[in-house]
Amino acid sequence: MASVGSASGISSTLGTYSGITSKEIDKLIEAESVPLTKMNLRKSKMTEQQNAWKDVRLRLNSLFTNLEKLQKNETFNTKITLSSHPEKVKITATDLADVEDYKVTVEKLATSTKITSGEIAKLKDKTIYDELSVSGKLTLPLKSEKEIKVDTLDGKTETKPPKTLDITIDEKDSLKEITNKINQESKQTGIKASVINNRLILTSVETGEKDFEVKGDVLNGLGLDKAEKVPGEDAIFTIDGMKVTRSSNEVSDVIENVTIHLLGETKENVNLSLKTDTEKLTTAVKDFVEQYNNVMGFISEKTSVGDPSKKDNKAGTLNGDGSMMRLQSSLRFLMTGAPGNNDKTNIVTPMELGIESKDKTATITFDEEKFKAALKKDPEAVQNFFYNEKKEIKEVTGPDGKPTMEFEKSEFGYTVKLKELMNEYLDDTKGKKSVFKSKTETLESNMKDIDERIKRFNVKIEKKKDYYVRTFTKLDQVMMNAEAQMAYLQSQIDSFAAR
């Protein structure tokens, strides 16, 4: 027989005598592979469940992030700053700043000490990019060092100059290269260099009455022996009638948690205001509600039983998953229920802030106008409703066995129980596996087990196929031999009959 195979590797000439061909063997193998089909379907379903749980985890992580924003003071107290002349005076503030109005008049801005060189003789007929033919040392004071006075052994007072830094100037250096060398050391010296109208300008990085001297054997070559110095001055301004002097135009030590930015001198008061950014908080709550609905909608889809009355009904991937159904019911209860013991607010339920269930479904709605009204009425109560904490001093036993005192923190509010629930599903860092990790490990273990079963079953099927091929090939051979013998006998009979 010719060795021509089917798609399954079985000879296509099989069954020439027995009538059992490769097609019949393929059908036999297909019939016996029903368990394999079921195992592959089960594996496919577990893969879908695994992907669904991963998706739920991603959505829960997003919800968790939105929830944490509602536990931060900056979400509730970020400040909007206003200025009647922002080109003259502005303010910035942290979330701890008080809501307040101020009046500021700027008499004088803080300036930096500046040394301008005289005419540089060797720059004549040259550009700032040509060799200056000046060499030696330029000595600058270190930024962190100041002139100090110390008492000597003979009872006198001695002045010690500040430590300095030497910058080496080479003959081949251009004026541009010299300024670059000076600027490379600005972090240490606090002095920056520039060139204006072919003159070297040395400026103190810091503003205010901070003087500095330059020394060295290159002063003459750089025109610094005939330099003009303009001393730096402190800023002078008035805030709410109080006169203030500071060395910088960025003033952060006059109003607590507020920085005043002096940008220009004024003749009249500049009105400054700090207001709470209620839109940021409203958006944070709105985003939280939207993400909650996103999570709940996805869970509803994946746990749906579909329509059992339909013949082609297809249930959700996580239909019947108790952990997922408990997550959904717990989230719904916590999102629409009271936050529990919270003596810092008179707001009892989320509904009072515009957060309520929609037609008793898993999703909720957010009434922004109702929320803003509650926020306007009592912003502190709204913040405490979402989250607040208490710190109490508690006596504990220290490592040395002696009693010691430590702070014990207690958390309250709408977001606390929600965070605990999501941590139960997401967090496995507290000596206990999260629900997500337990589910993932169980599914991975089951998939590994079913892969082993599929592998063993495939080996079994291959053996069974080989068995069928060998059996029916032998049958063909037997029938072929029998046919040959019959032909021989018939020929013998025919020969006898002819005589």
* 304-328 pLDDT per residue, tens: 888 777 877 888 888 888 999 999 9
**Residue 395 lies inside a defined structural domain of this protein:** no
By residue range, what is the domain housing residue 362?
11-78+280-305+317-386+418-498
> Distance between CA 371 and CA 277 in Å, rounded?
14
In a shared domain, residues 464 and 441: yes
Q: pLDDT at position 2, please? A: 36
**Residue 312 lies inside a defined structural domain of this protein:** no
Q: pLDDT at position 3, please? A: 41
Closest alpha carbon to 211 in 162, 160, 175: 162
Q: Describe the crossing of helices 435-498 and 414-426 by its angle, rounded to 10 degrees.
A: 30
In a shared domain, residues 183 and 272: no
Q: Is the pLDDT of residue 105 over 90?
A: yes
Q: What is the average pLDDT across 477-483?
A: 74
> Distance between CA 212 and CA 161 in Å, rounded?
11
In a shared domain, residues 143 and 197: yes
In a shared domain, residues 194 and 204: yes
Beta-carbon contacts of residue 484 (< 8 Å; ≥ 6 apart): none
In a shared domain, residues 272 and 224: no
Task: Check residue 306 and give left, alpha or beta (phi > 0: left; psi -120 to 50: alpha).
Answer: left
Three-class secondary structure of residue 78 per DSSP: coil
Q: pLDDT at position 181, please? A: 96
* 272-306 pLDDT per residue, tens: 999 999 999 999 999 999 999 999 999 998 988 88
Q: What is the average pLDDT across 250-265?
A: 96
**Residue 400 lies inside a defined structural domain of this protein:** no
Continuous segment of H or E residues that includes residue 458? helix 435-498
CA distances from 187 to 96, 148, 158, 182, 200 (A): 32, 21, 29, 10, 19
In a shared domain, residues 43 and 160: no
Which of the listed residues 233, 268, 288 is the one where a domain comes to its end?
233
In a shared domain, residues 129 and 193: yes
Q: What is the average pLDDT across 476-481?
A: 75
In a shared domain, residues 292 and 256: no
Q: Is the pLDDT of residue 5 over 50?
A: no
**Residue 83 lies inside a defined structural domain of this protein:** yes
Which of the listed residues 217, 233, 249 is the one where a domain comes to its end?
233
> Distance between CA 80 and CA 428 in Å, rounded?
39
222 and 56 Cβ atoms separated by less than 8 Å: no
Q: What is the distance of C-alpha 476 from the center of its chain?
A: 71
**Residue 34 lies inside a defined structural domain of this protein:** yes
In a shared domain, residues 244 and 265: yes
Which of the listed residues 176, 209, 233 is the one where a domain comes to its end?
233
Would you list the DSSP string of 250-319?
Answer: EE-SSSTTEEEEE-S--SS-EEEEEEE-HHHHHHHHHHHHHHHHHHHHHHHHHH----TTSTT----TTT
Least confident of 7-21, 383-397, 450-464: 7-21
Number of domains in the chain: 3
Residue 131 carries which DSSP code?
Answer: B
Closest alpha carbon to 190 in 139, 141, 246: 141
Q: pLDDT at position 308, please? A: 79
**Residue 179 lies inside a defined structural domain of this protein:** yes
**Residue 410 lies inside a defined structural domain of this protein:** no
Three-class secondary structure of residue 385 per DSSP: helix
344 and 416 Cβ atoms separated by less than 8 Å: no
In a shared domain, residues 351 and 438: yes
In a shared domain, residues 26 and 167: no
Q: Which long-range contacts (CB under 8 A, 24 or more apart) does 21-28 make?
A: 25/465, 25/468, 25/469, 25/472, 28/468
In a shared domain, residues 198 and 272: no
> Distance between CA 105 and CA 499 in Å, rounded?
146
* 115-124 pLDDT per residue, tens: 999 989 888 8
